[in-house]
Amino acid sequence: MPRPNTSKRWTLVLKEPKFNLYKSKKREHLWQVRLGSYAKYRRRQFDADTLENAKAEALKIAGLPDPEEEELGPSVVDAANETFDRSRRGEKATKDWLSAWERFLDWLGEKHPSATQWQDLSRSIIREYADLHKDKAPNTQRLYLQPIIQTSSYMAAEYGLPDIATNLGISSKTVNPPASVYLTDVADFLDWLADHRGWLEAGPALQGLAGLQLQEALRLTWDKVDLERGLIEVSGKTKNEYRNRVIPVCSRLLDALHRARALQLERKRRTKVQNVKDTVVVGKLGGPYTEYTGYSSQVRSAIREFNPDLDWSPKDLRNALPTFASQKGIRNDVWEQYVGHAPQSVTARHYVCRLTTATKGERQDLDEKMAVLRERVVSPIEAALQAHEAAKESD
């Protein structure tokens, strides 16, 4: 069937990939949009007073967004904030994140001032910024670029945008690998603290013998400690849900906690100064640490005085239990649960209980869980410490 001659009635005024727009030669305000097909049912006529309005109407009929009105997506700042809000970070990690983004935004404003929306960024821009830091230590590179990499991944997942910051080739090696921390060395260090700096013993004991993170130790309060049953509860502001736990502790740590409690009660009686937060770990004058840096400085000084050859940092004390378990070949899901690591297996996530605060009705269940941890974790620790003490006495 021959095509009808429409050139006498319509003039082509706009040609787009998915539609063409025509203007009537006889009627001033009559337009026709053809949706990529000759067939009549793919044509629509409408009235519009200007070409601009006709184009907007044609886009609506074609079911297409107006490129000039199409959403540009989040700005670079909004993308960073949205990614941050969807993640969980501690105080220090938050400072590092904000600092890294401030550094990147300052550079972006100077080098690429027109790149204000996330879609304005490109792989070449991210690579240019990454290359700016290529001569820095791997730790520094990760610190500067990880927030950008994470935001790029989030924008790809949530908005379907290209992941422009993947595979930048940043080394995963650490400049200073974690120091080797052995349980017996920790025990000797704690004995030295008990004799020379008794007020400081509780913090390193919680880190080295219970696997608490430095901040977890500093936040622990006496209402979360059961000295009679030998239990401590880690809860509240933690890194993730697996950090919330109740664990039994070995006798050496329990002794340190008893000494710390007695020292604080005696100080309160003498000075009538109350520790408002009633924290377990306190400074030399009896007050809680307001910044972890003060505690770290004092522990670091004590380590150097105890043994100048040790290359421990205060946070390394937590490594003693995982190191011990690995040496003995007994590291498993129960040990991971004890120190608050995220389970590595589906079985651990769903069938190995995560320990949290128990109500009276849950007391029996809690006792059963504590019995498992005492058998699998605390008993080997007790045996190792007793053997170490016996060896010291025989020397």
pLDDT of the chain along its 395 residues, tens only?
445 555 678 999 988 777 888 999 889 889 988 876 444 547 888 899 988 888 888 888 776 655 554 456 788 999 999 998 888 777 778 888 899 999 999 999 888 888 888 988 999 999 999 999 888 888 888 888 999 999 999 998 888 888 998 888 776 665 566 678 999 999 999 999 999 999 999 999 999 999 999 999 999 999 999 999 999 998 876 555 567 888 999 999 999 999 999 998 888 888 765 554 589 999 988 888 888 888 999 999 999 999 999 989 999 999 999 999 999 898 888 888 888 876 665 445 444 454 455 566 667 878 888 898 899 999 999 999 999 999 988 87
Beta bridge pairs of residue 11 = 23
Region for 4 from its dihedrals, namely left if φ exceeds 0, alpha if ψ lies in -120 to 50, beta otherwise: beta
8 Cβ contact list (under 8 Å, min separation 6): 25
pLDDT of residue 379: 94
| Residue 5 token pair | 């001659």
User: At which residue do the structure tokens 């044509």 appear?
Assistant: 43
- What are the angstrom distances between the C-alpha of 113 and each of 19, 82, 118, 195, 334? 36, 21, 13, 61, 53
pLDDT of residue 202: 96
Residue 214: closest CA among 139, 351, 319, 126: 319
| Residue 289 token pair | 């640490």
What angle do helix axes 138-159 and 91-111 make, rounded to 10 degrees?
Answer: 80
The rounded distance, in Å, linking the Cα atoms of 74 and 390 is 65
pLDDT of residue 357: 53
The rounded distance, in Å, linking the Cα atoms of 84 and 78 is 10
Q: Which helix (H) or strand (E) holds 226?
A: strand 225-226
pLDDT of residue 60: 80
The rounded distance, in Å, linking the Cα atoms of 74 and 57 is 27
Residue 330 one-letter amino acid: I
What angle is formed at CA 296 by the lines to CA 294 and CA 298, rounded to 5 degrees?
70
pLDDT of residue 351: 45
| Residue 145 token pair | 């670029």
pTM: 0.63
Q: Which helix (H) or strand (E) holds 223?
A: none
Residue 316: closest CA among 208, 236, 215, 226: 208
Beta bridge pairs of residue 266 = none
Question: How many helices and strands in the chain, by DSSP H and E?
Answer: 15, 7
The rounded distance, in Å, linking the Cα atoms of 372 and 335 is 11
The rounded distance, in Å, linking the Cα atoms of 391 and 184 is 11
Beta bridge pairs of residue 45 = 32
Biggest distance spanned by C-alpha atoms of the chain: 114
Over the range 37-63, which residues count as b (16 or more CB within 10 Å of their CB) and which as e? eeeeeebbeeebeeeeebbebbbebbe
| Residue 182 token pair | 């052995």
Q: Which helix (H) or strand (E) holds 225?
A: strand 225-226
pLDDT of residue 288: 86
Residue 125: closest CA among 147, 102, 148, 143: 148
